[in-house]
Amino acid sequence: MRETDIHGDPVHYGRALAMQGETCHRLARVEEAIESHMKLKEVYDVDKHSAPVVIAYTSDRCAQNFGYTANCYNRLGQIAITMGIASQDSSLSLFFPSSSVFESPVKHCELINYAREAKQSMQHH
């Protein structure tokens, strides 16, 4: 983290923050995950940085972190956030971590069906 922050490149610093947020999310340290995400939001602009992140790392973990953060907010009983992304892996990674936001099994099934349709649609283009 320190090295990427010192370097000042939002692509690499954002990726490091996203990785930190994802790790904290997986360890159920949701407050730390959200704190990392708030820092990420200060440096990451999807329109400017998504493509360079994908070029450097093959996927946009910065964008994917929005889904993990939605899950963290849900765990805390707060309002979840959402973000639309065009790339297939980033879009689908947003669906599943945040799918627990839906309390109703019906809504969850609708989300799974929507994700399948989105994946099929993206495979055809």
pLDDT by residue (tens digit) across 1-35? Answer: 677 767 778 889 999 999 999 999 989 899 999 99
The single residue listed with the structure tokens 């879009």 is 91
The number of folded domains in the chain is 1
Which of 41-45, 54-58, 113-117 has the lowest average pLDDT?
113-117
Question: Is the pLDDT reported for residue 40 higher than 70?
Answer: yes
Tokens of 82: 């959402």
Question: Residue 80 and residue 71: Cα distance in Å, rounded?
Answer: 7
SS3 84: coil
pTM of the model: 0.62
CA atoms within 13 A on the CB side of 24: 19
% pLDDT > 70, the chain: 61
pLDDT, residue 101, reads: 47
Q: Which domain holds residue 55?
A: 2-124
Nearest Cα to Cα of residue 66 among 50, 51, 48, 52 = 50
